[in-house]
């Protein structure tokens, strides 16, 4: 496809849970070539910093990178064609894992999050993973909210937030109400994060809430496209001061069908800054 160049006053920001950046470097490079984001935020890179595949991204023109990784799981990274000014990450829940990385691009702070999945049981007492997820979200809420010390000013928050908040962000609201990623307690916690800085959910600025929208399809489905049992777990949020400049937000659904795919598809927004 042909790429319409982004004007210097606009920013194309994409997010993608890649489920191992070294295993799927090829499709990341394909996405960069075909969709040309200015900034790509990756989650679940599963690579220690020393083993991150810098050379291929450098050759593709993404010469600015800010990565935080660990062996075998978690890991977040920001790749950019534009200069990055790293911002101190926050160690959420004091676990020392790599679930947040941030950088400034021009005058905009970009936060890249990988929120804990939460395990299989939606009970914080019975499931420490679920408790971790809720505590992580509560800390996000407080950090961004009044009295928190998160960076101020125009900001973009992206990532695999591991929650599909709306009724039509899942293939079946009724069947998934008790399934981790769509339970009322998680949705309430995510809404508290969103409200903490009045973040704008860019996808729903273009797709009405009553229409289905997904970014994740399970590997367990033999034909994910035909079954279409998805969830919208991946998000791009912006602060209200950027809302007037929001030009588009799309989920690149076709990437879910590329060779050796992630179970997530990239989501990309264009914002005039």
- Say if 5 falls within a structural domain: no
Quote the CA–CA distance of 35 and 60 in Å, as a whole number: 12
pLDDT tens readout for residues 108-150: 999 999 999 999 999 999 999 999 999 999 999 999 999 999 9
- Say if 15 falls within a structural domain: yes
- Say if 1 falls within a structural domain: no
User: What's the domain count of the chain?
Assistant: 1
Whether 114 and 97 have beta carbons less than 8 Å apart is answered as no
Over residues 242-246, mean pLDDT = 97
Quote the CA–CA distance of 151 and 154 in Å, as a whole number: 9
Domain range for 162 is 10-272
Predicted TM-score (pTM) above 0.85: yes
**What CATH number is attached to the domain comprising 58?**
3.60.10.10
Over residues 213-225, mean pLDDT = 95
Measured CA distances, 151 to 10, 81, 103, 239 (Å): 21, 23, 10, 12
Q: How confident is the model at residue 7 (pLDDT cuts 50, 70, 90)?
A: very low
Lookup: tokens for 76: 């977040």
- Say if 99 falls within a structural domain: yes
Whether 152 and 115 have beta carbons less than 8 Å apart is answered as no
- Say if 254 falls within a structural domain: yes
In the block, residue with structure tokens 């194309």: 12
- Say if 143 falls within a structural domain: yes
pLDDT tens readout for residues 27-64: 999 999 999 999 999 999 999 999 999 999 999 999 99
Q: Check pLDDT > 70 for residue 18.
A: yes
- Say if 144 falls within a structural domain: yes
- Say if 4 falls within a structural domain: no
Alpha carbon distance, N-terminus to C-terminus of the chain? 25
């Amino acid at each position: 496809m042909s790429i319409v160049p982004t004007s210097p006053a606009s920013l194309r920001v994409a997010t993608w849970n890649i489920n191992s950046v070294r295993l799927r470097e090829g499709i990341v490079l394909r996405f960069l070539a075909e969709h040309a984001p200015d900034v790509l935020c990756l989650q679940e890179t599963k690579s220690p910093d020393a083993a991150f595949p810098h050379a291929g991204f450098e050759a593709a023109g993404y010469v600015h990178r800010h990565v935080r990784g660990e062996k075998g799981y978690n890991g977040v990274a920001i790749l950019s064609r534009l200069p990055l000014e790293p911002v101190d990450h926050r160690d959420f829940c004091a676990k020392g894992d790599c679930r947040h990385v941030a950088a400034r691009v021009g005058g905009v702070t970009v936060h890249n999050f990988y929120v804990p999945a939460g395990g299989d049981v939606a009970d914080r007492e019975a499931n420490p993973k679920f408790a971790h997820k809720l505590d992580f979200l509560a800390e996000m809420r407080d950090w961004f909210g009044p009295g928190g010390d998160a960076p101020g000013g125009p900001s973009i928050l992206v990532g695999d937030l591991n929650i599909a908040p709306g009724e039509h962000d899942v293939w079946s609201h009724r069947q998934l109400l008790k399934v981790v990623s769509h339970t009322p307690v998680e949705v309430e916690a995510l809404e508290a994060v969103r409200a903490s800085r009045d973040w704008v959910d860019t996808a729903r600025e273009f797709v009405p809430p009553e229409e289905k929208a997904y970014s994740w399809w399970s590997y367990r489905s033999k034909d994910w496209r035909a079954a279409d049992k998805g969830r919208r777990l991946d998000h791009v949020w912006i602060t209200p001061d950027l809302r007037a400049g929001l030009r588009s937000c799309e989920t690149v659904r076709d990437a879910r069908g590329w060779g050796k795919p992630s179970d997530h598809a990239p989501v990309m927004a264009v914002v005039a800054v």
